[in-house]
Amino acid sequence: MNNKYLIISNDLIAKDTYKLIFKGDIQKNILPGQFINIKIEDGYKFLLRRPISICDHNGNYITIIYKILGEGTEVLSKMKAGEIIDILLPLGNGFTIMTEPNKQLLIGGGVGIPPLYLLASKMIEQRIDFKVILGFNTFEDIFLVEEFKALGVEVFVSTMDNSFGIKGNVMDVIKQLNIDYDYYYSCGPAKMLNNLVKTKILGQLSFEERMGCGFGACMGCTCKTKTSSKRICKEGPVLESSEVLVDE
C-alpha cells in the first residue's frame, strides 16, 4: 500500500489555521465527512497519527484545513511544498446526503467547518437547496466563508466577540434570524453538537475525537450511543442525531 503523498502547498489562511493541499494516486471514492490520518515525522516523538477531516477532493488532489492545537500540528504547519507526507485515507463513515427534507442547514463551528465544504459541493451537484451557518470566535479565525459563497449558497457568519457577522454562536444565528429548517449536517465543538441534538430536529453530526489507529482496531475512540458503543473512527465520525446521547 502506497501511503506517500506530495505536498503541493501548506499556507496560513487564518489565525493559526493552515490549508494543506497534497497529491497522489487517489483511486478510492471519498465521501464528505471522511478523514485522513497523518504521520508526523519527527523521530519517535509522535507515535500516533493526527486525524484531520477532508475539506475538498478533486481527482488526485486533496485539501485539508487544520489549526495548530499542539506540537504535532505545529510540526505539520512547517512542512513545505515538495515534501512527502505519510497519510492513511480515506477513513471513517461520512455524511449521507438526504434529498427529501426541503429546508436543510449546514452548521459548522471553528475547525469543524472544513468537511462541510466538500459536503456542500456534493449537495449542489445534486441540486439540493440549503443554507450555511459558520461560527467562529473572532474575525481573525474566519476562513472558507468566501469559498462557500462562491458555491452560490446563502451563508451566515457569527463571532463570539461580535467582530464580524452576528454576535454569538451558531445557535444564536438560528434564533436571531428565525431560520426555519427540517434537517441539518454539522461538525464542530461538542457543546454545539449537544445543543443541536437537544432541538430534537433530525440531522447528522460529525464528532472530533482523539484516536489511536484511526480504523477501528484499537477501540480507543469508542463512545456510547442510545443503541450501542460506537467507534468514532469507524462507525463515525458522522452519527445520526437520533442515536446521540445528550450531555446534560
**pLDDT tens sequence across 119-171:** 999 999 999 999 999 999 999 999 999 999 999 999 999 999 999 999 999 99
Question: Which pLDDT score, from 0 to 100, does residue 223 have?
Answer: 79
Q: How confident is the model at residue 43 (pLDDT cuts 50, 70, 90)?
A: low
- Return the percentage of the chain with pLDDT > 90, whole number: 78
Give, in order, the Cα–Cα distances in Å from 216 to each of 48, 99, 208.
14, 30, 15
Give the cell for residue 87.
497519510
Give domain status of residue 176, yes or no: yes
Checking if the pLDDT of 44 tops 70, the result is no
pTM (predicted TM-score)? 0.94
- Tell me the C-alpha distance between 175 and 177, whole Å: 6
| Torsion sign (Cα): 140, 158, 130, 114 | positive
Q: Are residues 170 and 110 in the same domain?
A: yes
Checking if the pLDDT of 1 tops 70, the result is no
Question: Which pLDDT score, from 0 to 100, does residue 212 have?
Answer: 65
Question: Which pLDDT score, from 0 to 100, does residue 28 have?
Answer: 85
- Tell me the C-alpha distance between 236 and 29, whole Å: 17
Q: Are residues 18 and 138 in the same domain?
A: no
Q: Are residues 78 and 114 in the same domain?
A: no
Give domain status of residue 98, yes or no: no
Q: Which of 172, 120, 129 is CA-nearest to residue 149?
A: 120
Count of structural domains within the chain: 2
Give domain status of residue 248, yes or no: no
Give domain status of residue 99, yes or no: no
SS3 69: coil
42 CB-near residues (< 8 Å, 6+ apart):
75
Tell me the per-residue pLDDT of 202-247, one tens digit each, with 9 for 90 and over.
999 998 776 666 666 776 677 788 888 888 877 879 999 999 888 7
Give domain status of residue 196, yes or no: yes
Q: Are residues 137 and 59 in the same domain?
A: no
Q: Which of 54, 96, 92, 97 is CA-nearest to residue 230?
A: 92
Question: Which pLDDT score, from 0 to 100, does residue 211 have?
Answer: 65
Give domain status of residue 96, yes or no: no
Q: What is the mean pLDDT of residues 186-197?
A: 95
Give, in order, the Cα–Cα distances in Å from 248 to each of 173, 194, 195, 197, 245.
22, 9, 10, 11, 9
Q: What CATH number does the domain containing 118 carry? A: 3.40.50.80
Q: Are residues 122 and 160 in the same domain?
A: yes
Tell me the per-residue pLDDT of 82-107, one tens digit each, with 9 for 90 and over.
999 999 999 999 999 999 888 999 99
Question: Which pLDDT score, from 0 to 100, does residue 48 have?
Answer: 84
DSSP secondary structure code for residue 60 in this structure: T
Query: Whole domain around residue 51: which residue ranges?
Result: 4-91
Point out the domain boundary residue: 91, 114, 140.
Answer: 91
Question: Which pLDDT score, from 0 to 100, does residue 201 have?
Answer: 97
Point out the domain boundary residue: 65, 91, 117.
Answer: 91
Q: How many CA atoms lie within 13 A of 122 on its CB side?
A: 22
Q: Are residues 126 and 62 in the same domain?
A: no
Q: Are residues 173 and 201 in the same domain?
A: yes
Give the cell for residue 104.
436543510
Q: Are residues 86 and 131 in the same domain?
A: no
Q: Are residues 111 and 176 in the same domain?
A: yes
Q: Are residues 131 and 177 in the same domain?
A: yes
Contact by Cβ (8 Å): 19, 5: no
Give domain status of residue 71, yes or no: yes
Q: How many CA atoms lie within 13 A of 104 on its CB side?
A: 22
Q: Are residues 76 and 41 in the same domain?
A: yes
Whole-number average pLDDT of the chain: 92
Q: What is the mean pLDDT of residues 198-202?
A: 96
DSSP string, 201-243: --EEEEPP---SSSSSSS-TTEEEBSSSEEETTTT-BEEEGGG
Point out the domain boundary residue: 35, 57, 91.
Answer: 91
Question: Which pLDDT score, from 0 to 100, does residue 171 have?
Answer: 97
Q: Which of 46, 20, 38 is CA-nearest to residue 91?
A: 38
